[in-house]
Every structure is written in structure tokens, then in C-alpha cells.
Amino acid sequence: MPLFKRNRDLAKKVGAEVFGAMDGTISTLAVIAGVAGAGTGNFIVLVAGAAAMLAEAISMGFSSYSSSRVRERILGHKKGAGKASAKEGVLFWLVTMGGGAIPLLPFILPLRLDGISGLWLSVLFSVLFLFAIGFYSGKITKRSPWKEGIFNAFVGMVAAAATYVVGYGISLLA
């Protein structure tokens, strides 16, 4: 296989993995932070986070499948295009679910945490996971792994802080 094609295929696969895992983590963390900010209990935080994770993963999986089918049709690929698109959609669904599960761990594990402790642990797990994805991305793209890791972690913290403030603000109105 020529180097260009191999690099293009690897970039597409790794790009999907990074995008799906980050999207699952950040969107689920943001929902958890917003609901926790409103002062609800752990059960409600868990239900909202799990629903957000599943909805995001289904959306990402089917969107990836659909966009892959359109891309294959535009390029004129007929043989095996449906199977390749389905594989891409399943991959996106799986990595989005995996990423979305990270912020839910403190609420799933039998830790008996109060709401704010669960949120802090959720943020910690998510930030470490996002940092690891950025570090990995930096390594394979020959960019600074530390800068990429810090950037990803920062994005997750901004999303969590923003939605926490919104949840808290809405709770003051209620």
C-alpha cells in the first residue's frame, strides 16, 4: 500500500477515534456539570449523563455512517462502500460511548459520594482522559504532546465550568 494512502487511512481512523472520544467525554461532562450545578442529586446527574452519552453516541455513529456513505458515493466507490461506512459508524459510536463513560464513572462506581464530590471526581477523570488523548494526538502528529494534552484538558474544563454556571444560575431562578 502506498505511504500516502496508508497515512490517509490512518489519519481518518485516528481522527475519528480522537473526535468521538473527546466529543463523548466533553458533552457528557458538560451535561453532568450543568445538572450538578443546579443542585440535583447523584441519581438525576447519573440519569442525565447516561442519557446524554447514549444520545451523543447514537447521533455520532449514525452521522458518521451517513457522511461516509455520501463521501463514498461522491468518490464513485461502489464495491464494499456500505460495509466500510457501517464500520466507520460503529467505530464512531463505540469511541463516543467510551469517552462518554469516563465522566460517569464516579456516579456508577460504589463510592457513595455526595453530589459535589462526584462532580469533582468526574471532572478529574475527564480532564486526565482528555489530556491523555491530546498527548497521544501530539505524539502521532509530531506536535508537542504536552501542549496538545493541556489544550484538550482546558477545553473540557471550560465546558464543565460554563454548564455548571448555567445550571447554578437556573437553580437560583427556580
Residue 2 lies in a domain: no
- Give domain status of residue 122, yes or no: yes
Q: Give the pLDDT confidence score for residue 9 in this predicted structure.
A: 67
Question: What is the amino acid identity at position 70?
Answer: V
Q: Which pLDDT score, from 0 to 100, does residue 136 have?
A: 92
* In-domain check, residue 4: no
> Which residues fall within 8 angstroms of residue 105, CB to CB, at 6 or more apart?
121, 122, 125
Q: Give per-residue pLDDT as tens, 79-118.
A: 777 888 888 899 999 999 999 999 999 999 887 777 678 8
Q: Tell me, yes or no, whether 115 lies in a domain.
A: yes
Place of cell 504532546: 145
State the Cα–Cα distance between residues 122 and 102, nearest whole angstrom: 7
Does the residue 6 lie in any domain? no
Q: Running DSSP on this structure, what letter comes out for residue 144?
A: -
Instruction: Answer yes or no: is 59 within a domain.
Output: yes
Boundaries of domain holding 97? 13-162
The pTM of this model reads 0.88
For the segment 29-48, what is each residue's pLDDT rounded down to a tens digit?
999 999 999 998 889 999 99
Asked whether residue 110 is assigned to any structural domain, the reply reads yes
Provide the number of structural domains found in the chain. 1
Integer Cα distance of 94 and 71 in angstroms: 21
75 in any annotated domain: yes
pLDDT at 35: 95
